[in-house]
Amino acid sequence: MASIMFSEAFTAIFCFIILCVLLFKKPHDILLRNWPVLGMLPGLLVEFHRIYDFSVEILRSSNLTFTFKGPWYSGMDMLFTVDQANIHHIVSSNFSNYTKGPDFKEVFDVLGDGILTTDSELWKNLRKASKVMFSHQEFRRLLMSTTRRKIKEGFIPLFNHLAEEGAVVDLQDVFVRFTFDTTLVTVTGSTDPRSLCVEMPEADEFAKALNDVGEGIMYRHVKPRFLWKLQRWVGFGQEKKLSKADATLTRMCEQFISAKREEITQNSNHEAADLLTSHMKLDATKYNLLNPNDDKFLRDTMLSFILAGRDATASALTWFFWLLSENPQVVTKIRQEINTNLQRTNGQERPHYDDIIECLNKLDYLRSALYEAMRLYPPVPFERMTPVRPDLLPSGHKVDASMKVLIFLYALGRMEAVWGQDALEFKPERWVSKTGAFIEEPSYKFFAFFGGPRSCLGKHLAMNLMKTVVVEILQNFDIQAVKGQKIEPATGPILRMKHGLRVTLTKTCSS
């Protein structure tokens, strides 16, 4: 019965949307019109397939802030903003009034009580524990050594093979495999899926489940709460897929946790620097955590870091290399900087960890190019917050506790009012001062690593990882995007390319 009711409701809404499309020539007219009962939802659904580019158009035409009215009693009223004063107010000066909120936790329920979904004291304690781990020298060395090994044993052989064969490869898929392998090793200390290799095997069930989770979570953002909850209860469509993915992730995390406990039991002097071991050995009293060795706590912690480590970095690298393919003059400048500051590697091991970091820190133009790519294509394209109490934003817009506030990072990087008339250009030089020094923009302007108390803990680790990958590739290979392919962002919580990135590779003349 519930399934029939859902089908009839969906059919009615779909027919209404089609009618709207026929009546109005401009999709904007639909979105900006607040229909009785349905609010602005019909227009949002029409444009959902290109929601990020649509957010640019809407926010540009509405003076950087737009109030979206959802269907009556659906809890979908939202405020979209890229106003710098608003962002600073929300994430810094009035931070205590803006949380992820219970609705956020419900939408992201697959992630449990990890650092990405929690608020208040639990979030503070988890962040405190994670900050200690990220600053630990042994963890940083583990991440760098894993990255270097995966480049040597994965990237270099695969790219050599592709260059020799003249084959086309989906570079996005390659980067997802790379970050999946490196992230799982640094989280578990030992488990390497070895998905990045010449054979390029099918993605395993863990990786597929992560993809299904991201897709399911995104669709929950544009469905009335009662609809996706009904789908979950009935076991229908996207919610059925999400439920299966959740079960897969839980089962595999339990296997990792069980194996790690056995490893620690067999070696009482176990001093591994991986995330799982460090969290199993947390001092519960020191960090005010009830039971850091609990399976659910460890599972939620693992998933948060695996998702952040795999998807965000792979997204940033994919868009970056596409932009390089379109801007060969930037490639030339990056290579000149690399040749000036670093010795050729040819996939071989570098010196001591501290020496590697010192060399990477000299690559200011490369840093500028990476920042510029993330300005235009931020790995996480929007941030969602919920006010605890009603508030008045600096822009004059009122928000109440029933609204969601969405900061559209993708649109922020494209606003002429924020970045100037050349906002749509890929221009690393905007980050370089007249003296050649790197210009550090405030987080409320460049929000790729978020800002305020929730700023990204792994920022420097992620930048060093990406710099390492870029150096190794550019020293040894030329990458060219296949002409004629359609490049557009997929709809999801991570800014992936909808159709992947097909490229060809050739060895550099000096490699």
Tell me how far apart the alpha carbons of residues 329 and 332 are, in angstroms, rounded to a whole number: 5
Mean pLDDT of the chain: 86
**Ordered DSSP codes for 126-175:** HHHHHHHHHH-HHHHHHHHHHHHHHIIIIIHHHHHHHHHHT--EEHHHHH
In the structure, what pLDDT confidence band is assigned to residue 395 with cuts at 50, 70 and 90? very high
Is residue 73 pLDDT above 70, yes or no? yes
Is residue 58 pLDDT above 90, yes or no? yes
Is residue 12 pLDDT above 90, yes or no? no
Strands 502-507 and 477-481: antiparallel
Tell me how far apart the alpha carbons of residues 164 and 509 are, in angstroms, rounded to a whole number: 14
Burial (CB < 10 A; 0-12, 13-18, 19+), residue 416, is exposed
Quick one: average pLDDT of 276-300? 77
Q: Are 182 and 309 in contact (CB under 8 A)?
A: yes
Q: What number of other Cβ atoms are within 10 A of residue 285's Cβ?
A: 7
Tell me how far apart the alpha carbons of residues 200 and 162 are, in angstroms, rounded to a whole number: 11
Top-confidence residue, 363 or 19:
363
- Which pLDDT belongs to residue 21? 47
Quick one: average pLDDT of 83-87? 97
405 has which bridge partners? Answer: 79, 385
Is residue 167 pLDDT above 90, yes or no? yes
Q: Are 452 and 98 in contact (CB under 8 A)?
A: no
Give Rg (Cα) of the chain: 23
Cα angle for residues 102, 221, 402 (degrees, 5° grid) = 45
Q: What is the helix, strand, coil percentage profile of the chain, to 5?
A: 60, 10, 35
**Residue listed under structure tokens 């490196």:** 182
Q: Are 193 and 186 in contact (CB under 8 A)?
A: no
Closest by CA position to 97, among listed 452, 455, 458, 457? 452
Quick one: average pLDDT of 44-67? 91
For the stretch 199-234, pLDDT in tens is 888 878 888 898 888 888 888 877 778 888 888 888
Is residue 463 pLDDT above 90, yes or no? yes
For the stretch 434-455, pLDDT in tens is 888 899 999 999 999 999 888 9
**Residue listed under structure tokens 């897969």:** 248
Q: What is the 3 state secondary structure string of 316-330? A: HHHHHHHHHHHCHHH
Q: Are 45 and 29 in contact (CB under 8 A)?
A: no
**Ordered DSSP codes for 92-110:** IITGGGEE-HHHHHHHTGG
* DSSP class of 64: T
For the stretch 230-273, pLDDT in tens is 888 888 888 899 999 999 999 999 999 998 888 888 876 666 68
- Which pLDDT belongs to residue 3? 45
- Which pLDDT belongs to residue 287? 67
Residues 6+ apart with CB under 8 A from 313: 175, 179, 379, 462, 465, 466
Q: Are 127 and 287 in contact (CB under 8 A)?
A: no
Closest by CA position to 100, among listed 386, 307, 383? 386
- Of these ranges, 32-46, 297-311, 459-473, the one predicted with the greatest mean pLDDT is 459-473
Give 260-266's long-range contacts (Cβ < 8 A, gap of 24+).
Answer: 260/188, 260/189, 263/189, 263/190
Strands 404-408 and 78-81: parallel
List b or e across 372-387, with b for residues whose CB sees 16 or more CB atoms inside 10 angstroms.
bbbbbbbbbbbbbbbb
Tell me how far apart the alpha carbons of residues 511 and 508 are, in angstroms, rounded to a whole number: 5
Top-confidence residue, 150 or 102:
150
**Ordered DSSP codes for 486-499:** ---B-SSSS--BTT
**Ordered DSSP codes for 285-315:** TTTT-S-TT-HHHHHHHHHHHHHIIIIIHHH
Distance of CA 450 to the CA centre of its chain: 11
- Which pLDDT belongs to residue 25? 46
> Is 15 a known ligand-binding residue?
no
Quick one: average pLDDT of 398-409? 93
Tell me how far apart the alpha carbons of residues 234 and 6 are, in angstroms, rounded to a whole number: 10
Q: Per mean pLDDT, which range of 20-29, 107-116, 266-275 is the poorest?
A: 20-29
Whole-prediction pTM? 0.88
**Residue listed under structure tokens 């959802």:** 70
Top-confidence residue, 237 or 186:
186
For the stretch 300-359, pLDDT in tens is 988 988 888 888 999 999 999 999 999 999 999 999 999 998 865 544 555 566 778 888
Closest by CA position to 364, among listed 479, 467, 476? 467
Which tokens belong to 173? 């898929």
Q: What number of other Cβ atoms are within 10 A of residue 9's Cβ?
A: 14
The domain made up of 2-507 is a member of CATH 1.10.630.10: yes
- Which pLDDT belongs to residue 45? 82
Tell me what percent of the residues of the chain surpass a pLDDT of 70: 89
Q: Are 243 and 227 in contact (CB under 8 A)?
A: no
Top-confidence residue, 308 or 155:
155
Which tokens belong to 99? 């949380």
Tell me what percent of the residues of the chain surpass a pLDDT of 90: 50
- Which pLDDT belongs to residue 13? 53
324 φ/ψ angles, rounded to the nearest 5 degrees: -65, -40
**Residue listed under structure tokens 């200011």:** 364
- Which pLDDT belongs to residue 269? 66
Q: Are 204 and 193 in contact (CB under 8 A)?
A: yes
| CA 218 to each of CA 16, 80, 120, 211, 377: distance values in angstroms, whole numbers, following the listed order | 23, 16, 24, 11, 18
Is residue 289 pLDDT above 90, yes or no? no
Helix H or strand E segment including 224: none
For the stretch 464-491, pLDDT in tens is 999 999 999 999 999 999 999 999 999 8
Longest dimension (CA), the chain: 72
Helix H or strand E segment including 364: helix 364-376
- Which pLDDT belongs to residue 246? 92
- Which pLDDT belongs to residue 5? 46
